[in-house]
Structure 1
């Protein structure tokens, strides 16, 4: 791997953590006020777990997308970048809908769309680069779990 490829990695990391910052901005004001008032299932993870998990996931997903983008430079790099950007939008939008607007039902619609896109990206990433697929898998699994949690919270609070 040549050093020319590292600036693109930095861009993937910056864009990814910018989406994380948008989500965090929507989340923080209500995570300690509104969220504790919701009925939640017994299997809800403790609040302190979300920050470290998401930080690791954002790092892994940026590296995974960069690896696939780099391997698809000949023809599909733009498609990879566009799909990755779209999932970042849906990812950040979920926080805005769920925490910012306090709308678990709308957030559920968003997370279902996100999950479907992530599934497609998981297949794409595994085909392009096994390391990228392995890096993407925890994100997909976490969003699968989060989808169930979102569904349960919506159901318990409707």
Structure 2
């Protein structure tokens, strides 16, 4: 017999502070990615051999804009579910830590792959990112299922990026 877990609702942060706490780290991740790719797309990246399933360059900023919006909303929702007390509070902090680790890995991949031209190291980073996004979804599910679902397209895109990174490594 499984006991139901009661997760008390109520965020200790104000709505505006939660909004800032959700948007700022995601926006910083997006800025790092943009800065690391802009100079490399027409030069180094254009010269790489790429698989036939590589999307046109314009797809990436469109996809990432949508995904970063969904990621920020998911984080905003997760921040709103922080239990005030009890054992579920530890699980919530673990979900938040996983969320932040996957954002750090997201921010790290672009400079590793594009700026350092380290395709193999980029594959390691993006594979770790995929694992962390999936784990974040699993941990967040307990606190806010909508937040977890908002991360599913992100996981799919990172899975695709992992496959693409592996193919580029093999072809170069």
Aligned position for 1:83: 98
Question: Which of 11, 15, 21 is matched with 1:5 structurally?
Answer: 15
For residue 8 of structure 1, report the CA deviation from its aligned partner: 0.9
Greater mean deviation of Cα atoms: 28-37 or 5-14: 5-14
Which residue is 1:155 aligned to?
170
Distance in 1, Cα, partners of 2:142 & 2:119: 34
Aligned match for 2:143, one of 115, 118, 128: 128
Q: Displacement, 1:32?
A: 1.1
**Which structure dedicates a bigger proportion of its chain to helix?**
1
1:43 paired residue number: 53
Query: Which residues of structure 2 form unaligned runs of 5+?
Result: 1-9
Structure 2 contact 18–79 (Cα < 8 Å) conserved: no
The alpha-carbon deviation at position 48 of structure 1 amounts to 0.2
CA distance in 2, matches of 1:33, 1:103: 15
**Deviation (angstroms), 1:53:** 0.7
8 A Cα contact 2:94 2:139, kept in partner: no
* CA shift for structure 1 position 68: 1.8
CA RMSD after TM alignment? 1.8
The answer on whether the counterparts of 1:12 and 1:66 sit within 8 Å (CA) in structure 2 is: yes
What's the TM-score once normalised by structure 2's chain length?
0.85
Report the alpha carbon displacement of residue 106 of structure 1 after superposing the two structures with TM.
0.3
Q: How many residues align?
A: 157
TM-score (norm 1): 0.92
Does 125-134 or 34-43 show the bigger shift? 125-134
Q: Are positions 1:14 and 2:24 aligned together?
A: yes
Specify the structure having the higher radius of gyration (Cα).
Answer: 2
Write the distance in 2 (CA, Å) between the matches of 1:44 and 1:37: 13
